[in-house]
Structure 1
């Protein structure tokens, strides 16, 4: 989170805020992102970040997207950090330790990041539709 707060102030952060690792809905489905979304939505994980919740139609989508970006990049930074730690443990202890660490890392850092990317794409479409409705898009 500390590294993320430093990155927010850079120009590079704008590039990071529009990351899309997996654009295909089918691939997201095949890797089990839907199941992961269900777990987050229906278990105690739902209480972790209340800032990225759409409560009603008056919710500021730009602010929600910003909070999603912060969460996504924080998880990516944590994922990369733990990858190096898992590699170290694989070399110093055993491959089994590194493998177990990586499984937990994927579930606790990579999947949340991918889920945030999917939700950001949905919010972008929603924001585009709202802007289009405000400006009477497609009509003269």
Structure 2
């Protein structure tokens, strides 16, 4: 989190990291189980973890853009956490602790990679909403 906070103001973060899309196809998202993670986040105690990501139908476009920025922060935090833990997994593999490395990698994928993929999916949906709103906005 310290690393992501330090790079948040850079051009690399704003141009490259804010628009990441590992899986662009919704069918692939469905096949790998992002929908299951979405259901878990919506219907278990995980829904209480990041209250800034609440979406309300009465929101204006600036609120939606703020939610997209918060999603982006959350996504990048999860990605950096995933990379950090993968380094730990590589160390465990080097030390020939294969079962421990597999368990840590499995939990890391579930707790960091899948939430990041879910945020990317939600950001694409929000981008479509923002595009429709800006397209329908009358020009002066």
TM category, shorter:
over 0.9
Cross-structure match for 2:125: 122
Aligned-pair distance for 1:75?
0.2
Alignment match, 1:12: 12
| 1:1-140 → structure 2 map (5 Å cutoff) | 1-14=1-14, 15-59=16-60, 60-135=63-138
Structure 2 gaps, min length 5: none
TM-score by length of 2: 0.93
TM-score (norm. length: structure 1): 0.93
- Give the aligned CA root-mean-square deviation in angstroms: 1.1
- Which stretches of structure 1, 4 residues or more, deviate above 6 A after TM superposition? none
Instruction: Name stretches of at least 5 consecutive residues in structure 1 with no aligned partner.
Output: none
Show CA shifts across 1:4-24 (max 9, x none).
Answer: 111111110021000000000
Q: Deviations over 1:66-110 (max 9, x none)?
A: 000000000000000000001111222511110100000000000
Question: Which stretch shifts more, 1-10 or 77-86?
Answer: 1-10
1:134 positional shift? 1.2
Question: What is the rounded CA distance, in whole Å, between the counterparts of 1:45 and 1:108 in structure 2?
Answer: 11
Distance, in Å, in 1 between the alignment partners of 2:31 and 2:78 is: 21
CA-to-partner distance for each residue in 1:35-67, whole Å, 9 max, x for gaps? Answer: 110001000000000101102322511100000
